[in-house]
Amino acid sequence: MPSSPSTPDRAGWLRGVTYAHRGLHGHGRVENSTGAFAAAIAAGLGIECDVQLTGDHHALVFHDWELDRLTGESGAVGARHVAELTAIALRGSGEPIPTLHDLLEMVAGRVPLLIELKTRREHSVGRLCRAVSRDLEGYRGPAAVMGFDPRVGDWFARNAPHIVRGLVVSEADARTFSGTVRRRLALWRAKPDFLAYDVRDLPSRFAAAQQAHGMPVLTWTVSTPALRQRAGELADGWIAEAEGVATAGVSA
């Protein structure tokens, strides 16, 4: 099987960028909120965000499966329709939960955007991938999709190959021969243009092998000066928060 199905020129814009993890949050700004995204844009940072599917098949920018931690509501995000969800205020900010469509309109190509699709093994990924692809149709800025689930890359490779796609990787609890085999199978299935690698796993022979074939390797979540130094030495771009962003010369 090929080590790297990437075409370097497709994903070259990912290199050398600091991406604000869930936007530039903290100091009163809530993760994955319009305020956090606006702050990232103002600071000239790229943006990383999470999306999941609403009950009526829209892409919502929200990390948790449940509403409880980040809002005054409770229950599953996927059980509600988009109109209801976007009327819910994020805890501590008063800002509504944004959709991916809202975020794309806000960014408007000004900074690079990484969109992580949140999936579950027991559910098909097709509806979420389709919703994200639909929102990205006609978008002119630098944007890429990614996910831990290799089915995400596979879907985009087959149905929207023009969209840059990545595979998110962690070697936690899988630093074994069988774990290496699973990573290679995931790479083969996802056909990614880039990897987003857990910074705690760097240096990694697997990640380095893909870099040697021209594939950009981003890393997450860079949250301290020490991790920022490691990321700068071993990765091509950095998904950062807290002191990891401050180390890049930006106040979080």
Please determine, for residue 244, whether its predicted confidence score (pLDDT) is greater than 50.
Answer: yes
Q: What is the sign of the dihedral through the CA atoms of 7, 10, 13 and 18?
A: negative
The parent domain of residue 207 ranges over 19-246
Lowest mean pLDDT among 2-6, 11-15, 55-59, 161-165: 2-6
Cα–Cα distance measured from residue 142 to residue 123, given in angstroms and rounded to the nearest whole number? 29
Answer yes or no: are the C-beta atoms of 227 and 202 closer than 8 Å. Answer: no
The mean pLDDT of 171-183, rounded to a whole number, is: 85
Is the pLDDT at 171 greater than 90, yes or no? yes
Tens-digit pLDDT profile for residues 212-226 = 999 999 999 999 999
In tens, the pLDDT along 95-148 reads: 999 999 999 999 999 999 999 999 999 999 999 999 999 999 999 999 999 999
Predicted confidence band at 249 (pLDDT cuts at 50, 70, 90)? low
| Domain-located, residue 110 | yes
120 lies in a domain? yes
pLDDT in tens, 5-30: 445 579 999 999 999 999 999 988 99
The whole-number pLDDT of residue 56 equals 98
Sequential DSSP letters for 17-77: -EEEETSS-BTTBPTTSHHHHHHHHHTT-EEEEEEEE-TTS-EEE---SBSTTTBS--SBG
What is the rounded CA–CA span in Å between residue 252 and residue 20?
Answer: 9
Q: Is residue 11 situated within a structural domain?
A: no
- The verdict on residue 88 lying in a domain is yes
Domain count, the chain: 1
In a domain, 242, yes or no: yes
* pLDDT band for position 3 (cuts 50, 70, 90): very low
CATH number at residue 175: 3.20.20.190
CA distance 248 to 78: 36
Residue 81 reports pLDDT greater than 80: yes
Per-residue confidence band for 2, with pLDDT thresholds at 50, 70 and 90: very low
pLDDT at position 172, please?
84
Confidence (pLDDT) at 179:
86
4 within some domain: no
Average pLDDT over residues 47-53: 98
Q: Return the axis-axis angle of helices 100-107 and 126-136, rounded to nearest 10°.
A: 30
* Assigned domain for 45 exists: yes
pLDDT value of residue 177: 83
Stated length of the chain: 252
Domain membership of residue 119 (yes or no) is: yes
